Amino acid sequence: MKIRLNLLIPTALLALVVLFALFGGFFTQHAYDVSNLLNRNKPPVFLGGSWTYPLGTDGLGRDSLARLVFAARVSVGLALVGTIAGAILGTTLGLIAARSRNMLGSLIDAAIDLQAAIPFMIIALATLAIFGNSLPLFVAILSIYGWESYARLVRGSAMSAHTLTFVDAARTIGVSPLAIDIRHILPTVFNVVIVQLTLNFPQTILLETGLSFLGLGIQPPFTSLGQLLGEGRDSLARAWWLAVVPGALIFVTTLSVSLLGDALRDRLDPTLRGR
């Protein structure tokens, strides 16, 4: 029952976040980018506000609920794309490094160590400062975040898998290295990749929200949870909900995915199943 609750609770929380991002727009009739200065800083319903604006309005009179729904779609979507792209890149390089005993394998190992030694936030800030901010560049930055963790884990697991009997048999009968990686090695390391993906997803969300909070991520007219948090920090004294509500959504999203990753690790890792 304990393991079931460990899976059920974070899954339910994550499902609520996804449902809110997909269908939350049905609870408001306002667009996220339409302003009305006559309705500035309206309080939310739980503070005596009107159901016309269930979560109130911001300093420009824009509907906070509509902006929160749109921001959730952007932040979760970008984090999902970045996490999957990083997993594909890291897994591919890890598989190559595991079977390469030449210069290519050494270069991949050196790149993994170099990436792990430099804080990624510094790399992201330097890249955005040099090349300027654009949506394709921002997506590319998110897509290479955390690739070294996948590559390191896959490399270690794949090197162990290469010593298995059925892999030696496939190599002996002339199966190509690419076919061995796809048909035999990748299934053995798939559980490791799935667990690492769930652990890397909340970190990618925090990277996106952190850069957007600093004004280096998503730019107007689009918005994200980090941008909403950055806009709300200037109104904490008179409209604290503008920062607290998106901050709470970030917290729930990252917490649910992190707990889901821990539960999956307990279920998929054979060394932890008996605990």
Q: DSSP readout, 105-137?
A: HHHHHHHHHHHHHS-HHHHHHHHHHHH---HHH
Gyration radius of the chain over CA positions: 22
What is the rounded CA–CA span in Å between residue 15 and residue 48?
29
pLDDT confidence of 64, banded at 50, 70, 90?
A: very high
Q: Per-domain residue ranges for the chain?
A: 2-21+63-268
Give yes or no for a contact between 256 and 13, defined as CB atoms under 8 angstroms apart: yes
Q: List, for residues 156-214, the tens digit of each pLDDT value.
A: 888 888 888 888 888 888 888 888 888 888 888 888 888 889 889 999 999 988 888 88
- In 3D space, the residue among 69, 59, 72, 71 whose CA is nearest the CA of residue 28 turns out to be 69
- Say if residue 34's pLDDT is above 60: yes
Q: Rounded to whole angstroms, what are the CA distances from 61 to 30, 36, 257?
A: 11, 4, 33
Compute the Cα dihedral for 111, 113, 114, 119 and give only its sign: positive
pLDDT confidence of 82, banded at 50, 70, 90?
A: very high
Q: At the topology level of CATH, where does 2-21+63-268 sit?
A: MetI-like fold (1.10.3720)
Q: List, for residues 114-170, the tens digit of each pLDDT value.
A: 988 888 988 998 898 888 888 889 999 999 998 999 999 999 888 888 888 888 888
H helices of the chain, in order, are 2-23, 64-99, 103-117, 120-131, 135-143, 147-161, 165-172, 177-180, 186-213, 225-232, 241-268
- Say if residue 84's pLDDT is above 90: yes
Instruction: Determine the pLDDT at residue 246.
Output: 93
Instruction: Determine the pLDDT at residue 1.
Output: 46
- In 3D space, the residue among 101, 199, 202 whose CA is nearest the CA of residue 155 turns out to be 101
pTM of structure: 0.86
Choose the weakest-confidence range: 90-99, 234-243, 249-258: 234-243
